[in-house]
């Protein structure tokens, strides 16, 4: 359930340019699929609002490269 919601947030952050199914099934970093830096910032905002967490951009944010990475980070941060 968490991964599906995160994939949906990725899709929304990209204005639908990448579908949730594409994000969920990606075998390459999301940036290779077209997640831009603007979409990444939108995704960070959405994650912070939805999960009441704070993402520090000064830290390693490589977890933003995949839905699996996002799920692991969100689970650990809650």
Number of domains in the chain: 1
pLDDT recorded at residue 78? 81
**Half-sphere exposure for 48 (CA within 13 Å, toward CB):** 10
- Give me the domain span that covers residue 52: 2-77
Instruction: Report the CATH number at residue 44.
Output: 1.10.1200.10
Q: pTM to 2 decimals?
A: 0.93
In this predicted structure, what is the pLDDT of residue 61? 92
Select the more confidently predicted residue: 60 or 78: 60
The pLDDT tens digits for 12-71 are: 999 999 999 999 999 999 999 999 999 999 999 999 999 999 999 999 999 999 999 999
């Amino acid at each position: 359930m968490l991964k599906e919601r995160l994939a949906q947030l990725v899709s929304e952050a990209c204005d639908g340019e990448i579908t949730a199914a594409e994000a969920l099934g990606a075998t390459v970093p999301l940036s290779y699929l077209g997640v831009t830096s603007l979409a990444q910032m939108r995704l960070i905002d959405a994650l912070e609002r939805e999960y009441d967490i704070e993402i520090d951009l000064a830290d390693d944010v490589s977890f933003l490269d995949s839905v699996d990475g996002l799920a692991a980070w969100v689970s650990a941060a809650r």
